[in-house]
Structure 1
Amino acid sequence: MASVSVTNVRKSYGHFEVLHGVDIDIEDGEFVILVGPSGCGKSTLLRMIAGLEEISGGDVAIGGRVVNDVEPKSRDIAMVFQSYALYPHMTVEANMGFSLRLAKAPKEETRQRVRDAAQILGLENLLDRYPRNLSGGQRQRVAMGRAIVRQPQVFLFDEPLSNLDAKLRVQMRSEIKQLHQRLRTTTIYVTHDQIEAMTMADRIVVMRDGYVEQIGSPLELYDRPANLFVAGFIGSPGMNLIRGKISSGGPLEFVADGGARLPLPAGLDVARGAEIVYGIRPENIAIGEGGIDAEVVVVEPTGAETLIVSRIGADDLVLALRERVSARAGGRLSLIPDLGRLHLFDGATGQRLR
């Protein structure tokens, strides 16, 4: 196992810069997920760590050793790709042990390491099968097993679950997390799915347009997003974000651009008339007497909770309620936001104010 350090790393294609001085320090044994929308640079950064892309500037170090000019095969890493990349003419056992045979490892050692990895992944009864006889989840386990047998210092995962159906993705998320807890190998994982990031990572790196927006634990990012982008990206359903201003006179309240007026915490230190964005997560809005009058637009029962899209003025607010409600489209509700969990952002910069 080893730490990974990314220091002021840049990547350019000609005059076009796609990574702008990225800094990330990953501790030995940590599970870190790079997340962000398509084109944000997360896969490019992973490939630079792997040695599959040249570094235009800065340094990548693995275990304290700068590896900018080290060949991928000499970095002591193992990578699991989105495509399984299994050899169709080889059995599961042969696929998993291929890298060891290339390295001319002793046959008995190769066999034992393959058997150990198969036991960890529940593949013991599939070692004689060919990839065509496996399900998608089984193929992904074989790809992971091929990485495990190498016993690398660092695992790199590039959107490994994106080819699986929704139910299997949930199962494989749990299996990858359990695998990390068992092996404690430093792991860097790329995904565009923030649910994967929230459920699996020790820390999350949120990226946008080649910049790091925020680094923190899943709950740190959820409870205290650094800016509007992180607030809108992390969480499903997403945070309600409404633009407006602080009232210029009278009681201290938020006046939305769409005309609605929402409460603010007592003693809030904010300038009158300031342009801000009012953020409240769907689960932090309750129904009760004397609240904000809202029209019900859509009701979406999901079983465990009910999602309600409501309208105040010209803005929509989404509620996530655990209790059963009898709301219908066109009806009225009285909404009470939990002001202790309110998020406020600067309307111009998008940076967190509260």
Structure 2
Amino acid sequence: MASIALQNIRKSYGSLPVIHGIDIAIEDGEFIVLVGPSGCGKSTLLRMIAGLESISEGRLSIGETFVNDLRSKDRDIAMVFQNYALYPHLTVAENMGFSLKLRGVAKDEIAWRVGNAAKILALQPYLDRHPRHLSGGQRQRVAMGRAIVRDPKVFLFDEPLSNLDAKLRVAMRAEIKELHQRLKITTVYVTHDQTEAMTMADRIVVMRDGMVEQVGTPLDIYDNPATTFVAGFIGMPPMNLIKGRIQADDPSIFRTASGVPLPLPPDRRLAGSDRELIYGVRPEKLILVADGGIAARVAIVEPTGSETQVTVRAQDENLTILLRERVALRPGETINLAVSTADVHLFDAATGGRTEGWQK
């Protein structure tokens, strides 16, 4: 196992920069998830760690070793790809042990390592089968087994679950997390799925346009997003983000552009509030009340069984509510909402960053 240090990592294709000075310190045994929309640079960054992409500028270390110019095969890493990359003419056992065979590892050692990995991943019944006779989930486990037998310092996963159906993704997500808890190997995992990031990571790195927006534990990022991008990307459904200003004559009220009054925490004040701001509140922090609060008209009701997601309109503002209980709401109905003011966020409308001076 080993730590990973990325210092001012940059990548350009000719005159086009795609990674803009990334600094991340990954601890030995940590599970880090790189998450962000398509094209944000997360897979490029992973490939640079793997040695499959050159580094234009900066310093990359794995453990105590500076690896910028080290070939991929010499970095002691193992990578699991989105498309499995299995040899169709080889059996499961042969696929899992192929890299060891190329290294000249003794047959007995290969058999022992393959058997051990097969036991961990429940693949013993399939060792003599070919990939075409396996399900998608079984093929992904074979790809993971091929990585395990190498006993690497670092695991790298590049969107390994994106080809699986929804039910299998959930099952494989749990298997990968359990595997990490058992082996304690430093892991860097790339996904665009924020649910995968939230459920699997020790820490999340949220990326956007080749830069890091925020690094933190899943709950810290969820509870304390640093920018409107993070607030809108992490969480399903995403945070409600509404433009407006704090009332000059009443600092306890935030008034939206369409005139809807939204409450602020009574124990917080924002100095110099005469500027456009963005009010953020998670859907589950909007509460149905019998009287008072914010009047809103129900637009869409989406029951999921355990929860109900409701889209409402308060004047010209669209708001999303997430109710943990079943409710009998119908489109066109008028409801009243209260806000859990302790969970309100304020962002600067110009920069998208959390406002300075928003004190508790």
Which TM class, normalised by the smaller chain length? Answer: over 0.9
**Change in CA separation of 1:61 and 1:332 when aligned onto 2, cut-off 3 Å:** same
1:313 lines up with 2:315 in the alignment: yes
**Change in CA separation of 1:244 and 1:340 when aligned onto 2, cut-off 3 Å:** same
- Output aligned runs, 1:38-117, within 5 Å: 38-117=38-117
2:216 counterpart residue number: 216
1:168 Cα deviation (Å)? 0.4
DSSP 3-state at the match of 1:205: strand
List per-residue Cα deviations over 1:309-332 (Å, max 9, x = no partner). 011111111111112211110001
1:157 counterpart residue number: 157
Q: What is the total number of aligned residue pairs between the two structures? A: 354
- Quote the RMSD (CA, aligned, Å): 0.9
1:184 lines up with 2:184 in the alignment: yes
1:279 Cα deviation (Å)? 0.4
Contact 1:97/1:146 (<8 A) preserved: yes
DSSP 3-state at the match of 1:170: helix
Supply the AA of the counterpart residue of 2:286. I
Distance in 2, Cα, partners of 1:265 & 1:215: 27
1:251 Cα deviation (Å)? 6.1
2:332 to 327, 330, 333: 330
1:296 to 287, 295, 298: 298
1:261 Cα deviation (Å)? 1.3
Aligned-pair identity (%)? 62
DSSP 3-state at the match of 1:290: coil
Distance in 1, Cα, partners of 2:211 & 2:106: 45
Could you list the structure 1 runs, at least 4 aligned residues long, displaced by more than 2 angstroms after superposition: 248-252, 271-274
Supply the AA of the counterpart residue of 1:20. H
List per-residue Cα deviations over 1:145-182 (Å, max 9, x = no partner). 00000000000000000000011000000000000000
List per-residue Cα deviations over 1:69-120 (Å, max 9, x = no partner). 1010000000001111100000000000000000010100000000000000
1:347 to 343, 346, 349: 349
- Output aligned runs, 1:222-233, within 5 Å: 222-233=222-233
List per-residue Cα deviations over 1:5-51 (Å, max 9, x = no partner). 00000000111100011000000000000001111110000000000
TM-score where L is the length of structure 2: 0.97
1:250 Cα deviation (Å)? 4.3
2:17 counterpart residue number: 17
Distance in 2, Cα, partners of 1:10 & 1:263: 43
**Change in CA separation of 1:250 and 1:85 when aligned onto 2, cut-off 3 Å:** closer
Distance in 1, Cα, partners of 2:25 & 2:268: 36
**Change in CA separation of 1:4 and 1:250 when aligned onto 2, cut-off 3 Å:** closer
Distance in 2, Cα, partners of 1:279 & 1:38: 24
Contact 1:5/1:25 (<8 A) preserved: yes
1:282 counterpart residue number: 283
2:27 counterpart residue number: 27
Contact 2:251/2:269 (<8 A) preserved: no
DSSP 3-state at the match of 2:235: coil
Distance in 1, Cα, partners of 2:167 & 2:40: 27
1:168 lines up with 2:168 in the alignment: yes
Contact 1:291/1:334 (<8 A) preserved: yes
Supply the AA of the counterpart residue of 1:327. L
Distance in 1, Cα, partners of 2:349 & 2:245: 8
1:275 Cα deviation (Å)? 1.2
1:274 Cα deviation (Å)? 2.6
Distance in 2, Cα, partners of 1:128 & 1:234: 42
DSSP 3-state at the match of 2:292: strand
State which drifts further: 273-282 or 213-222: 273-282
2:133 counterpart residue number: 133
List per-residue Cα deviations over 1:260-319 (Å, max 9, x = no partner). 111111143223433110100011111112111000001111000111101111111111
1:60 Cα deviation (Å)? 0.7
Distance in 2, Cα, partners of 1:177 & 1:213: 24
1:260 counterpart residue number: 260
TM-score where L is the length of structure 1: 0.98
State which drifts further: 242-251 or 66-75: 242-251
Structure 2: tracts of 5 or more residues without a match: none
1:252 Cα deviation (Å)? 3.1
**Change in CA separation of 1:333 and 1:113 when aligned onto 2, cut-off 3 Å:** same
